[in-house]
Structure 1
Amino acid sequence: MGKRAQLYPESLLQATEQALQTFEADASALTAPSDEQVFDFIKRVGLRLNAINEDDQHGGAGYCTEEREQLCGYIDQTLSDHGIDVAALAARRDVNRAEITDTWRDW
């Protein structure tokens, strides 16, 4: 197993993977969503990841800076891959593209 597996317990990795798979599946179902629908979608994944990050079953392990950045990048890329113009979405909310999850995420 690699360095990542040594840093994080399997329970954290599996829970995160499941949350991201759900996010991607939900993104596949989006068709011409409003900004509010997209931000609600971002909120849901952000809150799911908060719960995973804070769950005591992971032995106190949580996301570090590099993983936080990767999670934000994954959210951005997934939305882009499903036809969402993330830069325009963020601009309409008057936030930087990298800040679209900030309202809801604690990780």
Structure 2
Amino acid sequence: MAIRPSARWRARVGEEAAELAAGTRVPSDAFLSELFPEVLLAATDGALHAFESDVDTLRDQDDEQVFEAVKRVVLALNEINEDHDGASYETEEREELCLYIDQTLTEHGIDVPALAARRGISRTEITDDWRDW
């Protein structure tokens, strides 16, 4: 199963906190808890969980149903990003989120390259119509 990017980010925050506590990292080199505050992680988890639930309920893998699920998660992530001054998801995070969406669809039997091709786009563009982050 695809690992939510927010779970990886939370783990990195925990590792940094442990390094600070152990004295193996100086406070001036610690920034992850500011970059990934718990409120951002929780909101991102919620949006990704809702996406997983949406994909779980897809019955016939109809392209429009799949794209509606993608649209819902992207719009939710847009809102989360906006709630954090439009700076929550930097390049690496954006790539992780897009990969997660692709992997989740693939794990549910959706042929993402074929889905994208039927729309005349590449698989890396399936979020582009709605994505602001």
TM-score, normalization by structure 1:
0.90
Please give the residue correspondences for 1:56-95 in structure 2 after superposition, counting only pairs within 5 Å: 58=84, 61-95=87-121
**Letter of the 2:76 counterpart:** R
In the TM superposition, residue 90 of structure 1 has moved relative to its aligned partner by 0.3
Higher relative contact order (CA 8 A, sep 6+): 1
TM-score, normalization by structure 2:
0.73
Please give the residue correspondences for 1:1-107 in structure 2 after superposition, counting only pairs within 5 Å: 1-2=14-15, 4-55=32-83, 58=84, 61-107=87-133
Structure 2: gaps (5+ residues): 1-13, 17-31
Q: Distance in 1 between matches of 2:55 and 2:64?
A: 14
CA RMSD of aligned residues (A): 1.5
Q: Distance in 2 between matches of 1:13 and 1:48?
A: 13
- Conserved in 2, the CA contact under 8 Å of 1:16 and 1:49? yes
In the TM superposition, residue 2 of structure 1 has moved relative to its aligned partner by 3.6
Q: Secondary structure of 1:32's partner?
A: coil
In the TM superposition, residue 60 of structure 1 has moved relative to its aligned partner by 6.2
Q: Distance in 2 between matches of 1:99 and 1:59?
A: 24
Using a 3 Å threshold, how does the CA distance of structure 1 residues 8 and 36 change in structure 2: closer, same or farther?
A: same
Q: Secondary structure of 2:131's partner?
A: coil
Using a 3 Å threshold, how does the CA distance of structure 1 residues 73 and 15 change in structure 2: closer, same or farther?
A: same
Q: Give the % identical residues.
A: 62
Structure 1: gaps (5+ residues): none
Partner of 2:7: none
Q: Distance in 1 between matches of 2:33 and 2:62?
A: 38
